[in-house]
Amino acid sequence: MSEDTKKTVNPLWGGRFVAGPSAVMARINPSIGFDRRLWAEDIEGSKAHCAMLVAQGIIPASDGKAILEGLDRVAAEITEGRFTFRDDLEDIHMNIEARLAELIGVAAGRLHTARSRNDQVATDLRLWTRAACERIDAELAGLQAALIDQAERHAGTVMPGFTHLQPAQPVTFGHHLLAYVEMVGRDRGRVADACRRLDECPLGAAALAGTSFPIDRAATARALGFARPCANSMDAVADRDFVVEVLATAALAATHLSRLAEELVLWASPAYGFVTLPEALTSGSSMMPQKRNPDAAELVRGKAGRVSGALIATLTVLKGLALTYGKDMQEDKEPLFDAVETLLLCLAASREMIAGLEARPAAMRAACAAGYLTATDLADWLVRAAGLPFRQAHHAVGRLVRLAEAEGVGLDGLSLSAMQAVEPAITEAARAVLTVEASVASRSSLGGTAPARVAEAARAARARYLGGGA
């Protein structure tokens, strides 16, 4: 026997093995370095399983009492930082079980009756993911609240709206921010959907085929707050759809945050000057003393790729797996843990940036002078007042824009005679629609940018998403 294989045999399956793992196996196999964060869920699941075993007469009540008391002692040790996590015990489940055996003796061996690590880890991970969904939803709601607050404050603050990053039509800053409220609202809907679908308990599926013991799976599901047990024992241990769904939701939410971050980066630049970001969320330059860089926004933008990468990594792990469990599935946890924590951090940073930014209405209004933002309003006026078909009105206003560009003026800077030379139907009354204020005020259709509509939409969003008034 080589030195590499002269390792201690794992006490939980020593009956089958006579030699321990090689040095390489000892490095690649353990997951305790990252799955230790499931300790609370593991103990919660073990307590529910133990109580069920006692209630069903599968293990003696005295052993059940010792197990529950021992699990409380293990939890206290972990909470107080006195627990020793051992790589040779591979994962959090075996670390806890081994320590339980040290504390209460042979009774600890009864805890794993009618249970496998396969259904155990699936249960632990569902519990952790369910709690993660609640944390994500709370942060998403916090971002919505910050956006709605600013939208109400700036329901009438005029700014350029863009398509293709080119000036398009005037909108209000509040209207722009409410677009993100809707994006985040859909993210919250996806979180709720994912949480609803993961609300099934794998415990009792055992390794893959169920168990011959007279267990009560409904009881353990209720004890752990699940709606029901998983219907099929093989699917219960093989399923990681809930991980993928949460990662997909996280990736899309991070993409939304990245889009918002990109706009904050642009708006905070001197070329735009639309907002000033909170100083505490920016940084300076080691060389250029004048710099104030939007680092928090840039990092939110950058970390979106990390969250999307977690989704792709997990899909790739799962795509070739036959039923039921393979050790490949150990690779589901690090991407999930990292993506959730990354998203939560980005949400917190985004909320603080939005809550603390200062809008610069004068700069926004000045930017509306470029790009002929009221061109569509003039075309609409020709349709309403002169009865022109819209396409004819569109062509006429396009020619007027070319003329204004040549003269270096806005549309409202053209003389009436110059405009009538292009389109005789234009009258002096048309000038009333050429201000940006008139333009935004006229966009009063449902979901439009008219300040009154924006204020109304902000109130409705607060009620719909946050459950009431300010």
Q: Active-site residue numbers?
A: 164, 285
What are the two backbone dihedrals, phi and then psi, of residue 170, each rounded to the nearest 5 degrees? -70, 140
Contact 374, 285 (CB under 8 A): no
Q: At 45, list the tokens.
A: 């699941």
What are the two backbone dihedrals, phi and then psi, of residue 281, each rounded to the nearest 5 degrees? -110, 20
Contact 160, 172 (CB under 8 A): no
Distance CA 270, CA 395 (A): 35
Contact 142, 354 (CB under 8 A): no
What are the two backbone dihedrals, phi and then psi, of residue 449, each rounded to the nearest 5 degrees? -95, 5
Distance CA 239, CA 143 (A): 32
Distance CA 343, CA 236 (A): 27
The residues with which 158 forms a beta bridge, in sequence order, are 172
Using alpha carbons only, give the angle 230, 316, 236 rounded to the nearest 5 degrees.
10
Distance CA 255, CA 245 (A): 15
Query: Tokens 């003026």 appear where?
Result: 409
Contact 187, 251 (CB under 8 A): no
Q: What residues contact 224, with CB distance under 8 A and at least 6 apart?
A: 44, 45, 48, 123, 127, 201, 203
Cα-Cα end-to-end distance for the chain = 72
Element at 418 (helix H, strand E)? helix 416-422
Query: Does residue 156 sit in helix, strand or coil?
Result: coil
CA dihedral 303, 304, 307, 311 (to 10 degrees): -150
Please provide the size of the chain in residues: 470
Of 97, 119, 118, 96, residue with least CA distance to 108:
97
